[in-house]
């Protein structure tokens, strides 16, 4: 298995633009997580899905952030409009129920 695949690896965008981050979880995993990592706040859970259903989105910072999981093999995290304070590394992870989470390589987002 190729592991969790995220794209793009790097994204530089201007303030106000829409940003879409993509994730392909490990086949067969039924939980998917989106995290944001910064030096100041560490690894923050934004939202997670079980069996494609959003379970807890209390970590989504504001309405500019949205996430979808249309099927078991794909998820997106969208920021619209983006702001400089959204600059961070965004990780996607997947797991089996009661199992450890496996992380993708992350998307480094820079909003200028």
Partner 1 sequence: EDKVVQSPLSLVVHEGDTVTLNCSYEVTNFRSLLWYKQEKKAPTFLFMLTSSGIEKKPGRLSSILDKKELFSILNITATQTGDSAVYLCAHGGATNKLIFGTGTLLAVQP
Residue of the chain from 60, 106, 107, 111 that contacts partner 1 (CB under 8 A):
106
Q: Under DSSP, is residue 99 helix (H, G, I), strand (E, B) or coil?
A: coil
Asked if residue 34 binds partner 1 (CB under 8 A), the reply is no
Asked if residue 52 binds partner 1 (CB under 8 A), the reply is no
Tell me the site size for partner 1, rule CB under 8 A.
24
Calpha distance 101→112 (Å, rounded): 32
Asked if residue 45 binds partner 1 (CB under 8 A), the reply is yes
Calpha distance 107→7 (Å, rounded): 7
Least Cβ distance, residue 78 to partner 1 (angstroms): 21
- Tokens (6 digits) for 77: 């995290």
């Amino acid at each position: 298995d190729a592991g969790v695949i995220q794209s793009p690896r790097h994204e530089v965008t201007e303030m106000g633009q829409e940003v879409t981050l993509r994730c392909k979880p490990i086949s067969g995993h039924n939980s998917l997580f989106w995290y944001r990592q910064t030096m100041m706040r560490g690894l923050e859970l934004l939202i997670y899905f079980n069996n494609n259903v959003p379970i807890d989105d209390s970590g989504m910072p504001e309405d500019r952030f949205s996430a979808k999981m249309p099927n078991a093999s794909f998820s997106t995290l969208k920021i619209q409009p983006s702001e400089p304070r959204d600059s961070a590394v965004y990780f996607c992870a997947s797991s089996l129920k009661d199992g450890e989470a496996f992380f993708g390589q992350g998307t480094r987002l820079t909003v200028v």
